[in-house]
Structure 1
Amino acid sequence: MSERVKILVIGDIIGKAGRRALTEHLPALIDLHQIDFVVANGENLAHGFGLNERVAEEMFALGVHVLTNGNHCWDQREFLELVDEDDRYVRPMNFTEYAPGRGWTVQETGMGHKIAVINLIGQTFMGPWDCPFAAVDRAMDEIPDDVSAILVDMHAEATSEKMGMGWHMDGRASFVYGTHTHIPTCDEIIHASGTAYQSDIGMTGSYQSIIGMKVEGALYRMVRRLPQRFEAVERGGSIFATMVSINPDTRMATSIERIHIPPAQ
């Protein structure tokens, strides 16, 4: 039996606080757990809104292999070209057919294992996107057979829709996980089929906030119901991530573990 492939999944990275936390801890985390592959959601990397080449390269230099996205995908205009040029970026597969970029990618670990990453976006409370279930089936038809693991980032608001995707991909994907809500869930599980699942990885950013944003601005919107610019908190980031081990012969998960690194006191 082949050696297990260890994969670290990081949820939404929120601005400078999230990037600082990963700069401080990610290389050591990779070494400690002998991580083979790292995927992170990058749609909030640049001040909490979208990503650009500079902040993305920071993450790649730390050991991230693939950056997935979501509803803030196009907040930074330069990303419209960047996503077409570099296959380490993916955007939701069920975006409009006119969207640049790709909805899945395959990247290799240092040991030569091929890891497929699929990005989807939910429909419930999220916007008029195409069906994510049809999109993921299409991705599965396109992904080559020689991959050792298949990861699915379901960027969605509704827990039920994320769980539905987990069951839709049961026995086909290695790990189906949710992003977007910025709140970690403790429902990590490996189904009897061997597909790992978690409703939301949670954000890497400051939890002295409202989903990563300064409390004052977010509360102003909620209480007064008037426009107010959101600003990402820049310090005190926590890391939330999930580690899964995959049997490359079967593509199925053999273990799953949540990881939390709080900010320094």
Structure 2
Amino acid sequence: MRILFLGDTVGDMGVKLLQTYLPKLKQSLKPQITIINGENATSYGRGINERVYKQIMNAGADVITLGNHAWNNDDIFNFIDQKNNLIRPANFPGKNVPGRGFTIVNVNNVKVAVINLQGRVFMDTLDDPFQTIDKVLKQLPSKINHIFVDFHAETTSEKQAMVMYLDGRISALVGTHTHVQTNDARILSRGTAYLTDAGMTGPYDGVLGMKYSGVIKHFLTQRPSRFEVEESGRGIVSGCVIDINNDGIAKKIKLIQLNPNNSYQV
């Protein structure tokens, strides 16, 4: 089983980059399932709406994951319950939370579970992701051993603690949210693939996808400053590709990054 995962899609540029490069990546890498984090994919960089959802799916996604901006667009409440391939963090608190925190995809008669979690350190206080993942894993059919987790979290330590907690129980855990790809792709001792952060797909010349002028102004003055998505300039596509054995044990994880200084040949 080969999984292609691309990190946070940011703004209109991120969606356009997916439309341009995702078909080429899929043709080159031939993944069986493609997962895209779309929680920053609207034109203003927060959340997702149905129009953008359709654009990402049409570009070649099989599953779209979200994060802390899941509810930033009221439009999502009109369609998330009808989309089995759009998932939000499973540990949002309360009863009757819209949508679902995981989905199961049938790939050539092999079932793959895709789970979305959100961290709590330096982020909104959601339910405990460690206890949540235990509950989710118990809900999965016993025959499913291909399990992928998108852990949308701020700190490296929380992500590393989570993968150590899950090592051998899932096939792969890849972090999102920080928008900067890390260089620590590895297979843990019990066979779980791990990457602290997949990085982002979107503007290359901003600050985490935002225009740098507003971000710099905030740091210089410590006063509120409007952060706007960068809409022009160069782009970046970041993620990873993971190969998993039939028993659900990961055998390889490789970084993917397309940018003006490190182009990926497709």
1:186 match: secondary structure: coil
1:138 match: secondary structure: helix
Distance in 2 separating the partners of 1:31 and 1:103: 29
8 Å Cα contact 1:178/1:199 also seen in 2:
yes
Deviations 1:145-185 (A, max 9, x none): 23351011110001000001111110011001110000100
8 Å Cα contact 1:81/1:100 also seen in 2:
no
Q: Could you say which residue in structure 2 is the equivalent of 1:251?
A: 248
Q: Could you say which residue in structure 1 is the equivalent of 2:54?
A: 57
Residues 89-104 of structure 1 mapped to structure 2, 5 A cutoff: 89-98=86-95, 99-104=97-102
1:32 match: secondary structure: helix
Which blocks of at least 5 consecutive residues in structure 1 are unaligned? Answer: none
2:77 match: secondary structure: helix
Deviations 1:211-259 (A, max 9, x none): 10000111222222222221111232211110001112x1111111001
Distance in 1 separating the partners of 2:169 and 2:190: 9
How far the C-alpha of 1:28 sits from its partner, in A, is 1.2
Q: What amino acid sits opposite 1:107 in the alignment?
A: V
8 Å Cα contact 2:145/2:170 also seen in 1:
no
Q: What amino acid sits opposite 2:223 in the alignment?
A: L
Q: What amino acid sits opposite 1:242 in the alignment?
A: C
Q: Could you say which residue in structure 2 is the equivalent of 1:36?
A: 32
Distance in 2 separating the partners of 1:255 and 1:128: 34
How far the C-alpha of 1:207 sits from its partner, in A, is 2.2
Distance in 2 separating the partners of 1:247 and 1:158: 29
Q: Could you say which residue in structure 1 is the equivalent of 2:214?
A: 217
Q: Could you say which residue in structure 2 is the equivalent of 1:238?
A: 236
Q: Could you say which residue in structure 2 is the equivalent of 1:9?
A: 5
Pair 1:172-2:169 in alignment: yes
Q: What amino acid sits opposite 1:159 in the alignment?
A: T
What count of residue pairs does the alignment treat as equivalent? 259
Normalised TM-score (structure 2): 0.94
Deviations 1:33-63 (A, max 9, x none): 1111011111000021100011111111111
1:190 to 187, 191, 195: 187
8 Å Cα contact 2:80/2:99 also seen in 1:
yes
Pair 1:19-2:15 in alignment: yes
RMSD: 1.4
Which blocks of at least 5 consecutive residues in structure 2 are unaligned? Answer: none
1:201 to 180, 198, 201: 198
Over 3 Å counting, the alpha-carbon distance change for 1:78 and 1:6 in structure 2 is same
Identity of aligned residues (%): 39
2:78 to 69, 77, 81: 81
Distance in 1 separating the partners of 2:94 and 2:79: 17
1:116 to 110, 113, 116: 113
1:205 match: secondary structure: strand
8 Å Cα contact 2:204/2:259 also seen in 1:
no
Distance in 1 separating the partners of 2:162 and 2:204: 27
